Amino acid sequence: MAALSFWTQQGFEIDRSFTLANYFALVEPSSEPTTWMGIPFPLKYPVPAILLVKSIAMSLAITVAVIAMAYPMAYFLAFHVTRRKALWLVLLTIPFWTSYLLRVFAWKIVLGFNGAINSGLKSLGVIVEPLSFLLYNPLAVMITLVHAWVAFAVLPIFVSLDKVDRSLLEAATDLGDSGLRRFLQVTLPLSAPGTIGAALLVFIPTVGDYVTPTLVGGPSGTMIGNLIQELFLRQNNAPLGAAVSISMMLVIAVIVAFFLWIIGFRRLRSRVR
């Protein structure tokens, strides 16, 4: 993939002469910037940059939603289920034994014009006409991806919570800490490795997802993965698609490294104090 990004497409053949033309095409400036969501993109070919920013923003929102749902589930399993935890974990993952495509199609049916939500609301008399904004937009993509990844996020968080030394919680209680303070001062920091791992497990693959936006996103739900697919399969420009892919990987790597650096810096400061 990296080598391909330094070549060029010449009709139906690939010129293997080394060149940075594909990368220059992604950052070539323009005197007339394109604006998206109030953000100016002064580039001649702004589509990759716009879709990358959009994909990162959507993936961050998806990650936050997944962690917000997965953490309470993992907490319940770790602290309130005393018997047959393995069975509970198996039951949690049963819906995800089916094909990923089938689950995406299921959400397409649920959110559709005549889907379960619209049919239910119409039968209750809440709406007269079906809601058209449920499908083919970024929200539909995020809902589908949150459902797809929440069970996977539960597992690393559960492992971290299950390893929390209960004697530390008892000591905090003996010292007069409230339940909330005990959670914030003991449980949450000790479960941070699993939570961070779950966040990365969700964030990294959802940025480049192209199946879900294709099926439930529509034009407004297009992400960077769809552009890469378009360049490889339809526009017959694999080198440019490879350059977009490598650029996306580098940006994600920088974001993840910065995120991990901030966490490590805060831990170091807390130890010094």
For the residues 203-225, what does the mean pLDDT come to?
Answer: 95
161-175 average pLDDT score: 88
Q: And the tokens for 255?
A: 């974001």
240-253 pLDDT, tens per residue? 999 999 999 999 99
pLDDT of residue 266: 59
pTM for the structure as a whole: 0.91
For the chain, the 3-state helix, strand and coil shares in percent, each to the nearest 5, are 70, 5, 20
Radius of gyration for the chain, computed over Cα atoms and rounded to the nearest angstrom: 23
d(CA 105, CA 118): 16
pLDDT in tens, 254-272: 999 988 887 775 565 555 4
pLDDT band at 90 (very low <50, low <70, confident <90, very high): confident
4-272: what CATH class? mainly alpha
In this structure, are residues 250 and 257 in contact, taking their beta carbons and an 8 Å threshold?
Answer: no
Q: For the chain, what is the total number of helices (H) and then of strands (E)?
A: 13, 4
The count of other CB atoms within 10 Å of the CB of residue 58 is 23
User: Strand (E) positions, 123-267?
Assistant: none
Q: Would you say how long the chain is, in residues?
A: 273
**Burial (Cβ within 10 Å: 0-12, 13-18, ≥19) of residue 25:** middle
Q: Per the structure block, which two tokens stand in for 166?
A: 């209960």
Query: How far does Cα 52 stand from its chain's mean position?
Result: 13
